[in-house]
Amino acid sequence: MTRILARVTVFVFALSMSIGAFAASKSQEVTLLHDAQVNGKTLPAGDYTVKCDTTGSTAQVKFVKNGKEIASATGQVKQLANAPDRNQVITQDGNGGSTISEIDFSNTKTGVTFDSGMSMSSAGQ
């Protein structure tokens, strides 16, 4: 009986660890030095809390200011070669404004991309 209980315990532990590997949530602070768009919504320059919920290779990102969600977007999780010291917001210019194409999170080798293709420039930290 104890052998079965030990096996069930190990199975439940392994299952909970594997679910944690595919579903993660993080919240970090970013500063936009210039107005930028994400998912068609303009974010004025300023400080934001970025809440990122990941499931597998997909990320749901919310930009929050003063406790209110300003914009949200779905992106793809990206593995970085090196972990940046600070949060980085990467933008691409076009149509008279900047669009957020990527966010790289500090002290992790994880980022989220919103669009691929065009050349990119750094817009904030």
- Per-residue pLDDT reduced to its tens digit, 77-123: 999 999 999 999 999 987 768 999 999 999 999 999 997 433 333 34
Coil, helix or strand at residue 18: helix
Per mean pLDDT, which range of 6-10, 16-20, 69-73, 84-88 is the poorest?
16-20
Coil, helix or strand at residue 32: strand
Structure tokens at 89: 């917001």
Closest CA to 43 of 59, 27, 64: 64
- Per-residue pLDDT reduced to its tens digit, 17-65: 433 444 578 899 999 999 999 998 999 999 999 999 999 999 999 999 9
Residue 99's alpha-carbon distances to 28, 32, 37, 72, in angstroms, are 19, 11, 5, 13
pLDDT of residue 2: 61
